[in-house]
Structure 1
Amino acid sequence: MKEEGKDLPFYSAGKREGLLILFSAVLFTSSVFEEVRILFIAPVLLFLFLILGRLFGFRSLFYLNIPLFVLSFINIFPYAKNLWPGTLILALLFYFLFYKRIKTDGLLGWWRRGEFSSSVLGFSVLFILAASLALVLWFYLLSPDISDIKDNFPKGELWVLISAGIGFAILNAIAEEFLFRGILFESFLSANISIRLSWILQAISFGILHLHGFPRGWIGVGLACIYGLMTGWIRILSKGIVYPIAVHFFADITIATIVLFFAT
């Protein structure tokens, strides 16, 4: 993977800020584990990093920890998982309250449509097909209990189910890509982490946070990590966020279809 032409943000963090950015990502990712969640470790330390970022002018650290802190704080409450992706959308709204400052500080390099090319199209189609097949096989071969996810979707006539599925796919794809392929990826790059390692780190975080999602369990984590690499690769190729969202949308449509029409 070449370093030339990568969409580096204008802001460049120092070593101390870079380490705190990495630690923030680790803390946020670890909040998926019940042992960490019930001790309130993640929101407390992420709030501390938020304050440190503000006090010492660590701008990338400060902006990153806005959505991470809000989301980890909300997730303290057991019922929060039933509100996804609403909780993530709320966290992102707090982030975008600082939109003008983030843009001025050069940390919105991800906030663009991106460039279309035959490579972007080819990989997008390949990843859409591969992800949909993997999700279907995971569901039918492992027969996972996803009743908690199904309970979060509305019940009713066909048009209600279809509307709910499409709405979920749109909102979840946008929100997750904004956080992982957008904000988190950009924060790693701003910490002078290579694009290759940033690509891997955001995928690992994305994967682990699917431990209780769809797909779930450690096999689900592995599949989600691979998928994070896929959409991250589209982000790198296109130099924007729209095409990763489009690819993600089709995976979420597959998930919604399984949950609404095939899960019991």
Structure 2
Amino acid sequence: MYDFFFGSSQDIENDPQTWLLSIKRMLPRWPNGIPDSEFLALFDLLNQYDYESTCTPNKRPVLIETGSGASTIVLLYFACKWNTCLYTWDIASTKLAFLRGVLNDTLFRQFRDLNMFNYWKYIAYDSTNQYAGIPILKETNDTVCAAFYDSEHTWQVLGSEIAATMPFLCNGAILAIDDANYAYKESNTAYINMLRTKLDLPAVTVSNNECRPFWEEVESLLSQKFPRVKNLDGGTYRQNYQDDIFWSYYSSDRNNMNKLGMEKLENLAYRFEAWKVFLN
């Protein structure tokens, strides 16, 4: 279904960014939740990353993500390029199955000699569970060189995911988050009220549910753990988000989401944020 011709293998190697963006733009709306500018910012951060410098004889640096969608295309591309593995946690098993078909038709036509299941481990379960979540990395003896967080969008969940990842981060690891401009402590009331609107129920307000914007909370948490944390200033996202066609293409959806608080159009500059952490 997604097996379109994007040029020769050499054409793709010469311009992987355009190829990957073409795959993203073929996705239907429901797995295509991040704007193109965020997708490309994630690509740029990883494309500039010196993966080889993180490798040690006894541990393999891997990539992880919580939530799945367009970001999976970028992260799995680099897992294949670097000959490592991407771990994805998402409770939406149907989305994972859908993405498997898309990636098989697209990414793995370019990497046709590779077995997808060796490079992508997707887990349809709670990302923080000690038996099947991020903590399993202590059993695989892997370290984490790059992580992208895009799951429930509450600080309770996001903070727990990052805390679960921190013991496995290698020196110079990149962490990036979607919806960094959210500030929901325990309940994602924007999402809850979207569901309530569909059910013809009135919106609710949850008391004591506000925290600092996620980008502030994450930076504070990382700074408590690591001797040096470098804020990457959103990578290339803040340079390009205003010209992103994603906003106009999905304008009806995004504008109505903004009314419910799900899209923070007044603070889009901080929708995506990223950091590098150093162990010494």
Both structures adopt the same fold (TM-score exceeding 0.5)? no
Q: Which structure is higher in strand share?
A: 2
